[in-house]
Amino acid sequence: MNNNLEKSVAQSLDATTGMLPFVPELIKDMWALGSFPDRIVELLRPFNLPPEKTRILDLGCGKGAVFITLAHELGFRAVGIDACRPFLEEAKSKAEEYRVSERCRLEYGDIRKAVQTLKDFDVVIYVSLGGTLGGFDAIVGKLRQTVRPGGYLVIDDGFLKESNKLNRAGYEHYAPTTRP
């Protein structure tokens, strides 16, 4: 993994590059890394997307909890991309466990490069990656290039409490919650 990619992965995990070799062991008992797969299933279910024909792209897929759950529950075909090989190895095992391996393709790679070439997915998932692709406008712009016309983007990230502001590169788009 090159230094630039290592920095990006570390930032998305809220870790330092020196911690990266230890992260898989530190979170070995966690499958869903910052996501709620069941909520995403329930979000997409009402659209009645055709099983087996619906193609999803899960960027920064981690251990595969979201795309494997979508493949298992809704019958979708999925591509998961991540830059952490141990996470992809676990995703492969989980896909076998859930008997969806034939519908799931895993790729090791840099999602910042992947969004430049991947196209025409029915659903694109961007979960808990912060500003990996830039500020919110840049994220949406890059994701729109990967989804087919009429397709869906699922963006799930954090929110700030009330008036707090986060001064951190890539998180400028985070807005505090407001109460009426």
Q: What is the CATH number of the domain that holds 71?
A: 3.40.50.150
Contact residues for 108 (Cβ-Cβ < 8 A; gap 6+): 81, 82, 83, 85, 88
pLDDT on residue 152: 97
Across the chain, mean pLDDT equals 84
Q: How far apart are CA 123 and CA 47, in angstroms?
A: 11
Q: Is the pTM of this model over 0.95?
A: no
Q: Which residue has the higher pLDDT, 76 or 6?
A: 76
Examine the pLDDT at 168 and tell me if it is beyond 80: no
Residue 55 lies in a domain: yes
Decide if 73 is inside a domain.
yes
Give the C-alpha separation, 65 to 32, whole Å. 5
Q: Tell me which range, 31-35, 49-53, 174-178, is most confidently predicted by mean pLDDT.
A: 49-53
What digits encode the pLDDT tens for the residues 120-149?
999 999 998 878 888 788 889 999 999 999
In tens, the pLDDT along 11-26 reads 766 677 776 666 666 6
Structural domain includes residue 21:
no
If you average pLDDT over residues 39-61, what whole number do you get? 95
101 pLDDT more than 70: yes
Q: Indicate the helix (H) or strand (E) that contains 74.
A: helix 65-74
Does position 30 have pLDDT exceeding 90, yes or no?
no
The band of 36, judged by pLDDT with boundaries at 50, 70 and 90, is confident
Region 82-90: mean pLDDT is: 92
pLDDT above 60 (res 177): no
17 domain-assigned: no
Let me know if residue 92 belongs to a domain. yes
Q: How many domains does the chain have?
A: 1
38: in domain? no
Domain housing 141: 46-180
Would you put residue 170 in left (φ > 0), alpha (ψ -120 to 50) or beta?
Answer: left
Find the range with the poorest average confidence among 24-33, 68-77, 105-114. Answer: 24-33
How is residue 155 written in tokens? Answer: 């963006």
Kindly indicate the confidence band of residue 58, based on its pLDDT and cuts at 50, 70 and 90: very high
- Residue 135 included in any domain: yes
Per DSSP, what are the bridge partners of residue 80? 58, 106
Indicate whether 6 belongs to any domain.
no
